[in-house]
Amino acid sequence: MKYTRLGKTGLEISALCLGCMSYGEPKRGPHAWTLPEEESRPFIQKAIEEGINFFDTANGYSAGSSEEILGRAIKDFGNRDDVVIASKVFMPMRRGRNAVGLSRKAILTELDASLRRLGTDYIDLYQIHRFDGRTPIEETLEALHDAVKSGKVRYIGASSMHGWQFSKSLYLADLHGWTRFISMQNHYNLLYREEEREMMPLCEDQGIGVIPWSPMARGKLTRDWEETTPRSGTDEFGKTLYTSNETSDREIVDRVRKTAEARGVSRAQVALAWMLHKPFVTAPIIGATKAHHLEDALAALELSLSDEEIAELEAPYTPRAVSGHG
């Protein structure tokens, strides 16, 4: 396994992050396609055995059961001091007032709840899942700063927002002497490269680690365009993505196929190798619900694409509306 530092910090993470959105009790939360605990644990165990030490979850994944599954698996298979746990806050965990968003009350309440579910006394990377336009940024940033100073959080990160929102957040943290975001978890893959316009240059300039979600574009880069899966049929959020540029997207998917066939590797390896080539990407967040998913991701670390192959994969891309912030 290759390792790197997250942003400008000394935090050592694996070059791959295992995303745990797919691990959760199917009857809890909106995602019926998630794997229950007994089916999830082997993937977390295998990841640890292969040297992956970076795991991403969220309070809102399967109504908190993703955090519970991850916490128990790390206790059984890993060394807490070696492992980097990333979780998130924003999504509603109950009905009622102050149940969603990034107010001080919501953040501190949900932080304690996540700690209980994870079975740990601190979270390594605590991320805001979305930008909260209804709460002053200053309130959110000071609450996150206090969470770090309390010892319950080691570092803070952000996810899925516009470049100006992230830039303002960094500026205000510096202005007030508050803890700074060290990472950006954003939507980025061969079918969605709008982040290259503002967010990626901003992160490079500010020394922010980039940990993209959905590097396989919800699996679209790994199969023929018309092919579906049980998840794609019930993934309501996924249905809102990759719908407006079908002509160019089909061509990109086909070029991934051709490159994979020419190299004698899987399409997933090609799509991930392309992302790993980008100097601003720190560690893609991969999903794994089948054994070969982890195998492909690990193999991609050793796959080097030529400049010509990369240009061929990127050529059909066309500008599109910003997505993934909702």
pLDDT tens digits along 219-248: 999 999 888 776 666 666 666 678 788 999
Q: What is the pLDDT of residue 232?
A: 61
Return the exposure string of 105-133: e unless at least 16 CB atoms fall within 10 Å of the residue's CB, then b. Answer: ebbbbbbebbbebbebebbbbbbbbbbbe
SS3 at position 127: strand
The residues, any chain, with a CB within 8 Å of residue 121's CB and separated by 6 or more, are 115, 151, 152
- pLDDT greater than 90 at residue 4: yes
> Whole-number mean pLDDT of the chain?
95
Percent of the chain with pLDDT over 90: 89
Residue-wise pLDDT for 11-22, tens only, equals 999 999 999 999
- pLDDT greater than 90 at residue 199: yes
Alpha-carbon distance of 110 to 92, in angstroms, equals 10
Q: What is the pLDDT of residue 308?
A: 98
Query: pTM for this one?
Result: 0.96
Residue-wise pLDDT for 127-176, tens only, equals 999 999 999 999 999 999 999 999 999 999 999 999 999 999 999 999 99
Q: What is the pLDDT of residue 243?
A: 79
Q: Looking at the chain, which runs of residues are DSSP E strands?
A: 3-5, 12-14, 17-19, 54-56, 84-89, 123-128, 153-159, 181-185, 209-210, 285-286
Q: What domains, with CATH codes, occur in the chain?
A: 7-314 (3.20.20.100)
Q: Which residues are catalytic?
A: 61
Residue-wise pLDDT for 87-109, tens only, equals 999 999 988 999 899 999 999 99
Q: What is the pLDDT of residue 239?
A: 66
Pairing of strands 153-159, 123-128: parallel
Alpha-carbon distance of 100 to 85, in angstroms, equals 22
Residue-wise pLDDT for 275-309, tens only, equals 999 999 999 999 999 999 999 999 999 999 999 99
Secondary-structure breakdown of the chain: helix, strand, coil percentages, each rounded to the nearest 5: 45, 15, 45
